[in-house]
Structures are given as C-alpha cells and as structure tokens.
Structure 1
C-alpha cells in the first residue's frame, strides 16, 4: 500500500508517529494523523483546511489540552459524581501539564504503535484514492479517510472547526473531481 503514497503523505504518516511520541501517547491515534496531515498538507486538502480555520499549531494545542479525546467511561463516572475534566485539572495543577497522558506501553523500540482506528484511516484513504481513480495516495486522501470516521478524535476536532467531517469530505471530493 505504501508504494502509492506521495512523499508528502509518507511524511504526514511519519509525523503522526512523531506527534504521538512528543505528546506522550503510546498509540498513534486519528488526532495524530490529523496533525501529520496539517503539518505537511498541500494542494486541495491544505486549501480546504485553511478555509475552515483548522491549523497545525491550534490543533496541536487542543490535542495537548485533551480536546477530542474519548473516555468511554466518563459518562458512567459522571453518574457517580466523578468529573474527569476536574480530575485532569487537579492532577495537572499538582503534577504539571500532561501528568495524565498515557505513557509506557507501545512497541519494544519505544515508538508509538498505530491504533486500529488510524490503520483504518489509511485503508479508507486508499479506498478514496481508488474511488477517485487516482493512482497515488496523497495527504488529501488521508484527510478523506479521517472524515470517514466522524466519531474518532480527529472527527471531533474537525467538527469543532464548525464543519462536520461529512461536509468536509464532500467538499474535498468535489474539489478533487474538478481538478481531475
């Protein structure tokens, strides 16, 4: 699959792993893949991200602050009076920013492994390139793959920009078809 990746797309995937490691995460999540795309996007995808105001620096800060993360048991804990946001705030107040970031685990070489959702994103990116009859896979296709998982961390970060992942994907597909 990687032989179809453009240099920019390969760099985006590599950057996603770097972002996960820098943020202290053991897995490369969709939020890290989005950061990799933002860091190295070009062409139609980059133009569209700029238009909706989704930029690398702001998105990275939002991820570091925990925006877009899912905590499956948060609602259950809230039901018994535990507010995870307050727990995070107090832990960071006492132990420093990022004190509750997931560390350890990962691969034996210490690099974060790709989460299933991130692997699925790359598979969906390849499907998008094939559907568009394009013989390469670029950052725009990775972005399309991300829009196909609206409940993911990246999907929530995209939605926070005021555009749903479905809307972003439709607009990007339209631009790519026009360019072809």
Structure 2
C-alpha cells in the first residue's frame, strides 16, 4: 500500500487533514485542508512554515474567510476568490445570495453531488498516484519492509482548531478533490526525485505548494509568502540539516 511509505508524521498530516475538513463542515478534502494540517507539523518543515507566517490559526482563518463553514462550501471549493474579484465578481456576495435563497439541506445535497462520498478504499492516497509512480513506491515499500518489522501505528490525535461548523463531527470518510489528489501525486514525485525511501512531511509540503489553483496560492499570498519562496526555504533548511 502507498500509505506504508508515509512516515508516521506524514500519515498524521493526511488523516488530520480529513479531520479538519469534517470539523469545518466540508464534505471533501482539498489542498487547503492539507495546508492547515501541515501548518501544525513538527520538525524542520514546521519551523520553516511558522517562520514564514504559516500558522494553523492564520491558515484556518483564511480558509473560513474564503470558503466558509458547512456542507454547502463544496460548491465554492475550487473557486479562486481573488481571481474572481479581479474581474468584478464578489464571491462572498454570490455565496450570501445563494445561501439566502436555498436551505442548508439543498446546499449540502448540491455539494455532495459535486463531491460524492467515496468507498473507504478511496481514502488510500495510492489511488491518486499514476501506475509508474505506484510501481516505484511498491519497490520502496518492499525494500523498507525487508529491513524492519511491522509495528502497530501509534494513535493519531484528533485535529483541533478554532472553528466548528454547526452540527459538524470529525469525519474520516471524505473524498479528496482533484487538486488534493494532484498534490499527493506531486508528493511522491518529490520523494522520487530526491531518491528518498520514504514520503515525509517535507515531501507533502513541497508537493502541496506546487499547486497553481484553488485556495492554497491565495492563502499563502494573504499570509505574505508564496509557493516558490517556501520551496526555497524548505530546501535550504534540509540542505543544511544534511
């Protein structure tokens, strides 16, 4: 399984991203939820993010400001608020008019149509990985398990934060959006390019900040940084550690 290549810290990031999405009442896992999760990560990459203003509280504030809370937010999850504002479209005003015109149940059903609930097997990140990279990961997994015994994974603590959608519960069976799946693919590519035998939080972040659309670039910009700047800082930190 692809997930076996993830370090315990990286597994925690992916699982807690799903918990954050459920807590915010979102019925999908997008790159923004992964960003919120990695912002809480420890280790060198967590230090780099926080040194650049990427903290859990600030990321969550931007996600809620741009995407809102509740089941209907899936209708707006792939929209770029800043890009729409540049052409005169106020996404907040549009969302307010839609939410005033339709009941929460109708909005939730519409969001579920856009992001249908998956079978549990779709939660496995390997589903987002092309066959070529999957074969590479299989070889790495076999090499790793040949040198270590299988140990039961440590319990993953629940994700916490300031905001909670009304009636929301922490959910783990949520579908990854297309952009989130692309981030996972880029994560594996980052590990492969560096000839690493594991997939760590640093690879997740490097894959995540390569995304061009969705909320992540605009959240980073609002927090005073960008994907390229963070990439340089992360690579420099790991180069020094090496």
Which 5+ residue runs of structure 1 have no aligned equivalent?
Answer: none
1:144 match:
206
Q: How does 1:29-44 map to 2 (within 5 A)?
A: 29-39=30-40, 41-44=41-44
In structure 2, how many angstroms separate the alpha carbons of the residues matched to 1:131 and 1:119?
Answer: 19
Task: Report which structure shows greater RCO (CA 8 Å, sep ≥6).
Answer: 2
Tell me, which stretches of 5 or more residues in structure 2 are unaligned? 68-75, 121-170
RMSD over aligned Cα, in angstroms?
3.3
Show CA shifts across 1:29-51 (max 9, x none): 00011112123x12221011111
TM-score, structure 1 length as denominator? 0.79
Shift of 1:71: 2.5
- Count of paired positions: 175
Q: Which protein is bigger by CA-based radius of gyration?
A: 2
Using the alignment, how far apart are the partners of 2:215 and 2:9 within structure 1? 22
Contact between 1:150 and 1:156, CA under 8 Å: does it hold in 2? Answer: no
Contact 1:9 1:137 survives alignment (8 Å): yes
152-161 or 114-123, which deviates more: 152-161
Q: Residue 159 of structure 1: CA displacement?
A: 2.3
> 1:160 offset after TM fit, Å?
1.9
Residues 120, 87 of structure 1: alpha-carbon distance in 2 compared, 3 angstrom cutoff: closer
Whether 1:50 and 2:50 are equivalent positions in the alignment is yes
In structure 2, how many angstroms separate the alpha carbons of the residues matched to 1:161 and 1:72? 16
Q: Deviations over 1:70-101 (max 9, x none)?
A: 4379849x76xx63322435677999xxx977
